[in-house]
Amino acid sequence: MISLTLLGFLGLTILFILLFLRMPVALSMLGVGFVGTIIANATKFIEVGMASEQAWARGLKIAYSNLAGETFEAASNFNLLVIPMFILMGSLAGASGMSTDLFGAAYRWMGHLRGGLASATIAACAGFAALSGSSLASAVTMGRVALPEMKKYKYADSLATGSVAAGGTLGFLIPPSGGMIIYAVLTEQSIGRLFMAGIIPGVVLTLLFIGAIYLVVTRKPEAGPPGDRSTNAERWKSLLRAAPILFVVGMTIGGMYTGFFTPVEASSVGAFLTFVVALSRGTLSWTKMRQVILQTMNATATVFLIIIGAFVFIPFMALTGLPAQLVTTLTSLPIGDIGILLVIIAAYMFLGMFLEGIAMLVLTIPVVIPIAIALNWDLVWFGIIVVIVLEMGMISPPVGINVFIVKSIAPEVPMGQIFRGIWPFWFAMAAMIGLLILFPQIALYLPQTLVGT
């Protein structure tokens, strides 16, 4: 029979092949985890002297039991209610035109500066990320609003598309991040603590993105010409129009920080308040509500299926002992904790060239978390680093899913131009990771002061 460690490597290899062939992430993990569990258990039973036919029957029974049990656990997990609630919150925000108000406010205050429209796009993406929790939704929604404006003022295609692609990735870091929810579930960490940990890094990364735009337009002023200067009255009016959105964000995040809401309660309150704001704007029709509900159900089902797939795949990896082998190998290297962290980051960057962020997250968690635990790393701090590296993958060639999203909005812009525009933001993300390594409190300060922890 095959050794369990070799079986683990084969399982990972087959999973990579399936993902490369564009098989759905969830179904790939379900298939590999289910079949792998059968083989791993049958191998163990045969090794202790059980008859081959009985061993395979027992392995199949355990695999079915595991599949049913993990599916029920994911579907009945109360804490996972945050997923449909925050998805609904983002869908309502997008359908009701709140993104236009956010961009309008940012544009009125920053548009007159050189590169101001691109900076306003980053700021609006950060604001919309706090409503949607989705990088794709942020890129699509803000791209449709911001790209025509930047084209109107003759912005360089690379800067315009690069700022939208990079700004969209903030949806993966700024709470309520869907990526953080999945990380929290797979690593058994507090969703509320992870959300708090993402706030300061999210703000700092937003400022680093704006700094990257400043460097680009300083070096090449024609890339980002200044827009029209708004009057003070126009600025305050735009801010007033965006105030309900900022109020919703403040209530959900502030409620979690003070301990007034649990993450599940905060998600429900946020969705309800967003619905009230959307109704008050008069922009929700029955057709839009139907679209919002269908989008929420579709996205929720996709995320839950991914979680179920991960719950089936992770026990298989544990059975093979492969994560334990990797822990032993990496911790024995004479490169220290920082060296091991840099190796993990480099591996994520490499995978990011070929895999989508959620796929990378669920694929690597069973391998890297045992290493983080063995080295005594804070899993909340490590989670923020992982999320930022995944953000880098979203704009890295050749896959860069956010780049393809922007390409679909601006089909006339060559892919080469879009990829050329993302590099200043990519290096800003690398700088953010460096800051987190040097100053872990950037991520840990708010979780450590979180009421109720």
Has residue 128 been placed in a domain?
yes
pLDDT tens digits, 134-175? 777 778 878 888 888 888 888 999 999 999 999 888 888 888
Domain housing 259:
79-300+337-449
- Cα torsion angle, 138, 139, 142, 144, sign: negative
DSSP string, 292-325: HHHHHHHHHHHHHHHHHHHHHHHHHHHHHTHHHH
Given 38, 55, 76, which residue is the final one in a domain? 76
Q: How confident is the model at residue 451 (pLDDT cuts 50, 70, 90)?
A: low
Has residue 188 been placed in a domain?
yes
CB under 8 A, 24+ apart: contacts of 141-147: 141/94, 141/99, 142/99, 142/103, 142/167, 142/168, 143/168, 143/405, 143/406, 143/409, 143/410, 144/409, 145/99, 145/100, 145/103, 146/103, 146/117, 146/120, 146/121, 147/406, 147/409, 147/410
List CB contacts of 184: < 8 A, sequence separation 6 or more.
190, 191, 194, 383
Given 76, 104, 124, which residue is the final one in a domain? 76
In this structure, are 157 and 56 located in the same domain? no
In this structure, are 28 and 109 located in the same domain? no
Neighbours of 16 (CB within 10 A): 17
In this structure, are 8 and 109 located in the same domain? no
Residue 246 burial (C-beta neighbours within 10 Å; 0-12, 13-18, 19+): middle
Check residue 296 and give its pLDDT: 87
Check residue 1 and give its pLDDT: 57
Has residue 421 been placed in a domain?
yes
- The CA-CA-CA angle for residues 186, 189, 195, to 5°, reads 105
Has residue 191 been placed in a domain?
yes
Has residue 328 been placed in a domain?
no
Statement: residue 100 has pLDDT above 60: yes
Has residue 326 been placed in a domain?
no
What is the identity of the amino acid at 439?
F
Check residue 215 and give its pLDDT: 94
In this structure, are 16 and 39 located in the same domain? yes
Q: How confident is the model at residue 105 (pLDDT cuts 50, 70, 90)?
A: confident
In this structure, are 30 and 172 located in the same domain? no
In this structure, are 174 and 273 located in the same domain? yes
Residue 48 burial (C-beta neighbours within 10 Å; 0-12, 13-18, 19+): exposed
CA distance 126 to 207: 10
Q: How confident is the model at residue 197 (pLDDT cuts 50, 70, 90)?
A: very high
In this structure, are 151 and 56 located in the same domain? no
Q: 3-state class of 89 per DSSP? A: helix
In this structure, are 92 and 55 located in the same domain? no
Helices first, then strands: H and E counts in the chain: 20, 0
In this structure, are 126 and 245 located in the same domain? yes
Note the pTM of the prediction, 2 decimals.
Answer: 0.83
The structural domain count of the chain equals 2
In this structure, are 120 and 183 located in the same domain? yes
pLDDT tens digits, 405-443? 888 888 888 888 888 898 999 999 999 999 999 999 999
Tokens read off for 405 = 């999203």
In this structure, are 348 and 204 located in the same domain? yes
- Cα torsion angle, 123, 357, 308, 310, sign: negative
Statement: residue 203 has pLDDT above 90: yes
Q: How confident is the model at residue 188 (pLDDT cuts 50, 70, 90)?
A: confident
User: What one-character DSSP code corresponds to residue 284?
Assistant: -
Who wins on pLDDT, 450 or 270? 270
CB 132 within 8 A of CB 94: yes
Check residue 125 and give its pLDDT: 86
List CB contacts of 290: < 8 A, sequence separation 6 or more.
none
Given 76, 107, 132, which residue is the final one in a domain? 76
Whole-Å CA distances, 424 to 122, 158, 404: 13, 11, 18
Has residue 310 been placed in a domain?
no
Compute and round to an integer the Cα radius of gyration of the chain: 23
In this structure, are 346 and 391 located in the same domain? yes
